[in-house]
Every structure is written in structure tokens, then in C-alpha cells.
Amino acid sequence: MAEKKDEMTASKKLSGFLDKNKKVFWILLIVVVCAVIGFVCGQAFGSSAKVKDLGKIDLISYELTNDSASLSSEELNTKRDATIESLNAFTSKVGVVGVRANLLTAELYFQKEDYESAVKYYEAAAKKGKTSYTSPIANYNLGVCYENLNNLEAAAEAYKKASDDENYILRTHAKFSYGRVLETLGKYKEAFAAYNEVNDISPDDDWAKLAKTRALKLQLEGKTE
């Protein structure tokens, strides 16, 4: 009996509390519902904005390449500059939009042989797309830029990052380039190891065959001890 009485008392208390505070609960419910709607709309808007931005980048890229074959070097360079300026609105963005804008900008600077500027945008692309398939592409191109700038230490690091990605389609090329730069730096033991890694990745690959030749040469010269 006491338990039933307590249950009834508790039930009445709860009922009274809910009745007195029903306005508060309705407000809270409305706030929660609005928050959920806002989140869903935000996601939809974010997705829509991303699609629009990618469309704009595609259009910029098309305008760059359309009828460019007939342009003189000076005219093409002017067109590249205009494209870079158009891409500035997207290079600071995150995600795939930022990655694509930075990759395209970097490529344009590379074509202009402005390797220092290309490095800046390849680095941004690699950072923004760390888990994307574009990351090793950006890192490999970074290696090429750094070699053109005669910064071989940075080039080796960039090639290594690219070659460490198991899904990179040019992995053997990147690993060979890593070994080649190490050899140029006089780091023969590390180069020898890198060349052997190329063979481990894909023994029948053309880069693996070239790597075997380089590794054998280092060995015969006594540089692997």
C-alpha cells in the first residue's frame, strides 16, 4: 500500500510539474526541431554550394583550354594569368573545391615555370586533400618543383610521401625518383634501399628494372657498404 501511495504521489508530482512547465517543454521541443531542420538544411545547402563551386571551376578550366591551341605563347600566358585570378575565389575553400582549385592553380604556375608559386599551391592541395587520391599527385608534383628549384632535400621528402601511398598509380615512378634524388645527394645507402623497394612494389615494372640497374651500379661501386 505504501509503495502504491508513493507511486501515486510521484505520478501526481510529475504530472503537476509537466503541467506547470509545459510552455518550457514546448519551447525546448521547438528549439530542438529547429536545430534539426537547420542542420539538414545546412547540409543540403553545403552540398549545393559545393556542386555550384565545382561547376564554376569546371567552367573556368573549360574557358582556359577552349581554343587555346591556336594562341601564341604570350596570349596563352595572359589567359593563364586570368584563370589564376578567377581561381583565387576558390583556393581558400576546404574539401574537394579547395583541392581542385589549388591543383589547377599550381599546374598553371608550373606551366609558367614559376615553381615557387606552384609549390605554394601544390602544398595547399596536398594538405586540403590528405586522404584523397589527389594527395600523392600533389606531392609528386611538389617533388618536381623542388628539383627545378634545386631544393633536393625537399624534393626527396615530397617524392617519398607520394611513393608511400599504396594506391598511387605512379608509385614506382615516385619511389624511383626518391632513390634518384637520394643518390644525387650522396645518400647512397638510402638510395640503394629505395631502389630495392621499387622492385618489391612491382618487379616487372619498367621503373623497377631501371632501379635494379641503379642499385647494381651502386653495389659494384662499393657505395652500399
Q: Which residue has the cell 631544393?
A: 151
Query: pLDDT (tens digit, 9 = 90+) per residue, 198-217?
Result: 999 999 999 999 999 999 99
Residue 63: predicted pLDDT: 82
* Integer angstrom CA distances of residue 45 from 36, 49, 52: 14, 6, 10
Residue 16: predicted pLDDT: 52
pLDDT greater at residue 45 or residue 209: 209
pLDDT over threshold 50, residue 77: yes
pLDDT over threshold 50, residue 10: no
What are the start-end ranges of the H helices in the chain? 2-20, 22-65, 73-87, 95-111, 115-128, 134-148, 152-163, 171-184, 188-201, 206-220
pLDDT above 90 covers a percentage of the chain that reads 55
Whole-model pTM? 0.75
Residue 47: predicted pLDDT: 67
Amino acid at 65: T
Residue 58: predicted pLDDT: 84
Alpha carbon 51 to its chain's center: 18
Query: pLDDT (tens digit, 9 = 90+) per residue, 150-203?
Result: 999 999 999 999 999 999 999 999 999 999 999 999 999 999 999 999 999 999
Cβ(93)–Cβ(133) under 8 Å? no
Taking all residues of the chain, what is their mean pLDDT, rounded to a whole number? Answer: 82
The C-alpha atoms of residue 94 and residue 110 are separated, in whole angstroms, by 22
The C-alpha atoms of residue 214 and residue 180 are separated, in whole angstroms, by 9
